[in-house]
Copies of this chain bind each other. A is one copy, B any other.
Amino acid sequence: MKIALDAMGGDFAPQAAVAGAVLAAEQLAGKATIVLIGQEEAVRPLLLEHGSAADALEFVPASQVIDMGEHPAKAFQQKQDSSIAVGYKLLHSGAVDAFCSAGNTGAMLVGAVFTVKAVTGVLRPAIANFVPKLNDGFGILLDVGANAECKPEMLEQFGELGSLYAQYVLGIERPKVGLMNLGEEEGKGTPLTQAAHQLLKVNPHIHFVGNIEGRDLFNDKADVIVCDGFTGNILLKMAESIYDMMDDKKIHDPFFDKFNYEAVGGSPILGINDNAIIGHGRSTPFAISNMLLQGYHMAQSGIADQIKDTFKS
């Protein structure tokens, strides 16, 4: 199995990317190979620095870089030899089994939709994010930003996509799906959440537990929390800020430490025909390494095929 990494993606690339790849390669030895993609002149010297620890890594050159501030669609189309474009080409051709990048989020999304494409039947792929649970483990929240505005049918599908991910990647047997709303009662919310509630309620593929509220994000009411990308993005960034403020204040606790994005790695794009993961812009080597491990588990789980099977019918 091969897991590709955009060596040029992220605020601390390529150093953090290469160091993260070395860390992940140690842990995946005998199970998967890490493939670094990036500018030869930037990456080669770093591989030499890491010495024999870097021997297990493969390298694929890509002459261009999509910067964090570039317009995603424009940059992706104009820079066909960028590390992100090359990564998706490798993924689409089957040369690698997962592609991870802490680079331009928009370009990662555009690349996913242009190359490996959305699964037939999926209206819009979503970005999922891990949510630490107070009692144990993680749940997932989606969408966290791919779709600022959603239709009810999209929220319904996010419930299905998230449920499959929770089941096949997180190993939760019958994931509980909750709809983020401003009240628990069925009639509460906006026209969007009211309509989505009705769709989710009768969807036979999921175990819908109804509306949940902002206070339920971290409890056990739902393993999969569905919302539009606007709400999800704001919640996610707020949760990250809570961790940052606690860390600044040297407040540490096993539960709150799970808010640290570094511990989980990245956010999978769900609803596409392959495995792609977007990392945090400020990813450290530890975060990069965890994103690669996550890419390995995702590829191993066969989640993309499960999604294709579900939406075929």
Contacts and interface: CB of A to CB of B under 8 A. Distances in A.
A230 B189 contact: yes
Interface string A243-268: 01110010101011000000000000
Interface stretch (A151-159, A196-204, A232-240, A298-306): A232-240
A182 interface: yes
A217 B190 CA distance: 23
A38 interface: no
A234 B182 contact: yes
Interface residues of A, number: 40
Interface string A137-171: 00000000100110000000000000000000000
A253 B249 CA distance: 9
A188 B71 CA distance: 12
Interface in A162-193: 180-182, 188-191, 193
B238 A235 contact: yes
B190 A215 contact: no
Contacts of A231: 230-231, 234
Contacts of A145: 182
A134 interface: yes
Q: Is the interface of A mostly helix, strand, loop or mixed?
A: helix
A112 B62 CA distance: 63
Contacts of A190: 148-149, 230
A229 B182 CA distance: 8
Contacts of A230: 181-182, 189-190, 193, 231
Residue among A180, A181, A190 having the largest count of chain B Cβ atoms under 10 Å: A190
B233 A214 contact: yes
Contact of A235 (B214, B219, B249): B214
A149 B240 contact: no
Interface string A198-216: 0000000000000001111
A242 interface: yes
Contact of A215 (B148, B216, B238, B249): B238
A238 B255 contact: no
A241 B253 contact: no
A186 to B, nearest CB: 14
Contacts of A191: 149
Contacts of A311: none
A214 B241 contact: yes
A188 B239 CA distance: 20
Nearest to A188: B148
Interface of A: 134, 145, 148-149, 180-182, 188-191, 193, 213-219, 229-231, 233-242, 244-246, 249, 251, 253, 255-256
